[in-house]
Chains A and B, each alone.
Chain A
């Protein structure tokens, strides 16, 4: 156990489980036809169903169901062919129906796993307890008027997947790795954009502490933490707070807390006594959700390749290292770019170029892979020019920088700048003769046994040819000349 808290009474470990609310990518809401686009003017994307007008009824959006199934499959989880929607009853101004339609007893997705990788290279499996579909609430705006709060229902009724982990997490770093991996999988699947700033992915963090070998102690739930960094910080400070309480002979109360990143502390939001009684019961407006295995199978066959599988395949197919493969598959778009460059070419060389010169250029020019000034096709063509000896590796760097700047094709740049590699043995011989004539002293030294000077001669010949000579041919020809 690498993360522990040393207290006065001994060593404490932390126990963490995460509940992630992931907004489903879909055109319309979970039970209405209203649009789900982010950033619309307040209350412009609200149907009568979302505003819970009298007599309005929910109708399930099958695309949201498909997205939940895809996500379940991506988490190696059990897909429940029978699931049911329940009402979670409570009053709040952002909840028009007075209840949230959710899945309580029978979620659409059951147990699964996510495999996470830590900084030190360790790989751990974190269990998924369940995934269920539910409606999002609206939003209250408190800053529009000195005495009134305003309600924006655009988000009301948008589909969320609540993804609940087992209490398998033992370190803040694992929580971070879990969230990053989950986000990566969701993005690969195209089921959630994972954008925590816009609130399309939010985490509730359950934290408790215990001494080694103990059963679980009372946990606290930290609600709605909206960045991975804050999740990790919240776990640290909450765990420390709980250790302090236990060690002072107190009891940790089961309660809902909020994390204040500014002050670096958690504080009570709702105590157990104030906890809602949600009075869950099956929503009588909706029939149970019964799925056909054939549909699930069809969705499974159309699932995109997921990060772990892609990483393994990149290693096997392109001969690149585990670490490099991890970097290249981190984002789907980068993986696609890399694969377009590497396919049918030298995979290792492609990886070196993408992770080295390309990433540097993107960084320097403030671009992303999607807006890269050099297309995968162009970079691939450049590698072809290296492979067919039109240019050598050194010239390639010059060509690449020109591509970044001008967006021109590598061929055009090579032609325009006359960078074609010299493979004419006559020209190379002439350059060698010229170099040897210029440096009779070095030639004598070499011939008297100072072999190390070979590199010096190679450099001089390359300089003579302005770097365009084929290095292998220069080596060979030099040997003939020097050993003559």
Chain B
């Protein structure tokens, strides 16, 4: 089954000429054709001829012995990465017809490594959301179903919900995501795949549509931890066009997987044992701790005292930045324009028509917290707390190599649930937001199913630029968990 492979397996199969890149691409295009109506994982599927032409070029490189590390591997691209000549919407009416004349650095890096793009995956509008329900192109749906309840559509998580659904359902071998407060890790957990948010600065932000600049970070969403390492190698690297990009060398991340974790110190942050945390989440966390102990890790209790302020602080800083970042969508130069008799009228009409409710909420919150008279009480205080949160991690990492936590406080919920109370929705990010605030790398690994048969993920958080240790621990969890379940909606199902 070509659509069920990992990147690593597919790369090996292509190199051994067991199948061609064209066959691999065609299998995925077929899967998308069958499943996308149900899952709405892709907003835009690339024309078949273009996909196959890319695959043919990859086959030629294999024949010539010049194949790159992602060569011929068909992947999905979150529709937040600008792709040259390919419509890039950010799942917003504002950019519904926007075709960038440039390629984002991350996708250019992937193309240079030989990757074959299948299309642009669904997301919450401008990456704002935790359920992929805020898309102007309709929600993406989780390919997993509750046991005995095939009828209820579940959310794939968000904002990178199209990517997680596509990878889980066999509509792409892997996909890019972006993570601002958990937008890679939480959908990965909800869809039973691996998602890695690298250290802030590891991947260039150039050409990726901004949500909150100090938090946004691109990363891989894959079927294995080794795949996440492989794909990050292709995505990462210094970019002079992004002043916040790191010039540290990019290690061979995939080699970190399989390395012994014996003697590594794993911290268990007390503050993540939130009251009301479902028993199934606690149980899975305990299981993860037991697996790592068995693998020779030393498990240590640690404290991240400012964790409880993480979510509130995040929902000040991220909207503040977004309110400014989204000011450029004014109807003047590109994207949607609604004409009106005055300039302010054009702004009002365009932005009212172009932005969905959640985006408007966040722009308003952000505008409020930056306003004269409120700045000190909200934005400035939030920045100070952010510094304390970072310090918590630094202190913890003086004693431990990684932290282990649940990725999300629940499994995937149904579309329509959690929708009347935005705060309840924001609580989905409670475990993922602190690592974003601190800029440290964090990985979600699928480790089991709950009683309803839905996947659960554990999160491994590491030191700045120490993705390698995170991947090693993630690999150990993956090996112990042996997660091989597939969702009910899958390219291989019933075939």
Contact = CB atoms under 8 A, between A and B. Distances in A.
B371 A279 contact: yes
B332 interface: yes
B240 interface: yes
Nearest to B101: A48
Contacts of B213: 284-285
Contacts of B372: 277, 279
Contact of A98 (B104, B327, B334): B327
Contacts of A58: 243
A57 B240 CA distance: 10
A151 interface: yes
A227 interface: no
User: Which of A48, A87, A91, A97 gathers most chain B CB within 10 Å?
Assistant: A91
Contact of A89 (B101, B207, B214, B324): B324
A54 B327 contact: no
B209 interface: yes
Interface centre among A52, A57, A149, A280 (most CB of B within 10 A): A57
Residue with the highest number of chain B CB atoms closer than 10 Å, among A96, A98, A284, A285: A284
Contact of B243 (A52, A60, A91, A280): A60
A269 interface: no
A280 B205 CA distance: 22
Interface string B67-106: 0000000000000011000001010000100101110100
A57 B239 CA distance: 11
B285 interface: no
B243 A284 contact: no
A281 B324 contact: yes
Interface of chain B: mostly helix, strand, loop or mixed: loop
Contacts, number: 100
Interface residues of A, number: 30
Contacts of A60: 243
Interface residues on B, range: 35 or more
Interface string B142-155: 00000000000000
Contacts of B81: 55
B208 interface: yes
A91 B323 CA distance: 12
B330 A98 contact: yes
B243 A55 contact: no
Interface string B305-329: 0000000000000001101101110
A462 interface: no
A99 B98 CA distance: 22
A53 B334 contact: yes
Most buried by A among B344, B370, B371: B370
Contact of A96 (B104, B324, B332, B370): B332
B333 A57 contact: no
A411 B161 CA distance: 88
A151 B331 CA distance: 13
A340 interface: no
Contacts of A98: 324, 326-328, 330
Given A281-B324, A285-B213, A57 B242 contact: yes
B324 A54 contact: no
B385 to A, nearest CB: 15
Nearest to A60: B243
Given A55-B82, A59-B241, A93-B343, A279 B370 contact: yes
A299 interface: no
B244 A54 contact: no
Given A57-B206, A277-B372, A96 B328 contact: yes
B240 A59 contact: yes
A286 interface: yes
B82 A285 contact: no
Interface in A82-99: 87, 89, 91-93, 96-99
Give the most central of B82, B324, B343, B344: most A CB within 10 Å. B324
Given A52-B328, A281-B321, 13 more contacts: A52-B333, A54-B95, A57-B243, A59-B240, A87-B324, A89-B327, A92-B343, A93-B330, A96-B333, A277-B372, A279-B371, A284-B321, A285-B243
Interface of A: 48, 51-60, 87, 89, 91-93, 96-99, 149, 151, 277, 279-281, 284-287
7 contacts: A52-B333, A54-B210, A55-B82, A56-B206, A279-B371, A284-B212, A284-B214
